[in-house]
Amino acid sequence: MSRPQGGRIQVPDDLREILLEFTISYLLEQPGDVINYAVEFFTRLQNNRTTTIVRGPTAGTPDESIISDEEEPPVARFNNRRKSVFAETYDPEEDDSDEGAPAVFPKSDAQRARLAEAVRGILLFRSLDAQQMQQVLDAMFEKRSEPGEYVIRQGDDGDNFYVIENGMFDVLVTGDDRVEKVVHTYEGSGSFGELALMYNMPRAASVRAQSAGALWAMDRHTFRRILLKSAFKKRKLYEELLDKVPMLKALQSYERANLADALLPRSLNDGELIIRQGDTADGMYFVEDGSVSIRITRDDGNEHEIKRLGKGGYFGELALVTHKPRAASAYAVGPTKVACKYLTSCSLIVMNLAKLQEDSDSCCCQYFCALSALWGYVE
């Protein structure tokens, strides 16, 4: 630790990073014996290091910011879903077959634009990157419907997944009394038909056009390969990224998977700003591909790069436990992909840390606050 001019103590990045990670990990796990826990923590850290004292390219940046007041959407555990959703028909984990050439149905630019708008808000497409989304747009074909026409019928085998571009469509269910009742109406948007394809079960309801309309359809094979398999691969990748974060080690496997489900992909161009120093935190980021430059604006008004993160790196993890503006900016270096966990996706972490704030006089809180001062320069 050095003491520059003016009597200020400058804390080395490696020391600050290790101390903060140890403290956060300790406060999350609350072990009975801090000494034994410290021995285990630093032994594990030593065993895991390769060419640098900490995590090298996978390290989070200590000069990053703080995320607060986050909520976790109730996303189900993927492995549990797979038992009920995929096991009967299609297991993406066991599918290593050649996918072959993807189906392509020619479309005009106007049609592609309309289709892209129609699928924009559908949850199933949320985990797809730009290339996979283009495959989806290529693979869907247009279907017109007339008033009174049945698009799917209850009890039939599932053949296609449908996205509504326009028109009104009634969802009807026939009960034990053999009376067909309208249980829902789509008004110009929405999607249907995925359950029969995922569960290998007959259609659970009928869908009938109430007006003339247009739909986009995707066949069963393409639906499974593009959506289910790509979602599975993406989830495994994101779980591996999350597993590199020491402060998430305390999470149960299902909690870590929930966070993986909540990650959203984002593609960036060279030099594009990801986060800005001084802004309110919006989420935690993981480098999926490419690299990210972390920069600080110093007293001279110029930005200085303090760290460069490669594939597998992350930044924003400290935002889960404190409440400060962004302490650094982050820029894409070349074409880059990041995965972001936004504020509404982080309540699992916040809930684990909330108990630390209940007693502001606790030794743990005092120690954590003291270490938080290591964020920048200690006066």
Q: What does the DSSP 8-state code read for residue 252?
A: -
Measured CA to CA, the distance from residue 240 to residue 262 in angstroms comes to: 14
Measured CA to CA, the distance from residue 143 to residue 82 in angstroms comes to: 30
Tokens of 257: 């998977």
Q: What's the burial of 121, exposed, middle or buried (CB within 10 Å: 0-12/13-18/19+)?
A: exposed
Q: Which residues touch 34 (CB under 8 Å, ≥6 apart)?
A: 26
Helices within 62-103 (DSSP H only): 78-85
Q: DSSP letters of 131-197?
A: HHHHHHHHH-EEEEE-TT-EEE-TTSPP-EEEEEEESEEEEEEE-TT--EEEEEEEES--EE-HHHH
Of residues 291, 284, 236, the one with CA closest to residue 260: 236
| Residue 94: predicted pLDDT | 59
| Residue 48: predicted pLDDT | 67
Tokens of 98: 């050649």
**Residue 261 burial (CB count, 10 A):** 22
Task: Give me the sheet containing 180-187, strands edge to edge.
Answer: 150-152, 206-209, 168-174, 180-187
| Residue 75: predicted pLDDT | 32
Distance between the two ends of the chain, CA-based, in angstroms?
13
Measured CA to CA, the distance from residue 312 to residue 323 in angstroms comes to: 25
| Residue 214: predicted pLDDT | 94
Write down all domains in the chain, each with its CATH number in brackets. 5-75+232-375 (2.60.120.10), 78-229 (2.60.120.10)
Measured CA to CA, the distance from residue 259 to residue 359 in angstroms comes to: 27
Q: pTM, whole model, 2 decimals?
A: 0.49
| Residue 53: predicted pLDDT | 38
Q: What is the pLDDT along the chain (379 residues), one digit of tens a residue?
A: 445 554 445 667 677 667 767 776 676 566 778 888 888 888 877 776 643 333 344 333 333 332 223 333 333 322 333 333 333 455 556 565 555 667 789 988 888 888 888 887 776 777 677 788 888 899 999 999 999 999 999 999 888 999 999 999 999 999 888 999 999 999 998 889 888 887 778 898 999 999 999 999 999 888 887 777 777 777 788 888 888 777 677 677 767 777 787 788 888 999 999 999 888 877 788 998 999 999 999 888 899 999 999 998 888 766 656 667 888 899 999 999 888 876 544 444 444 444 444 443 344 444 444 444 444 333 3
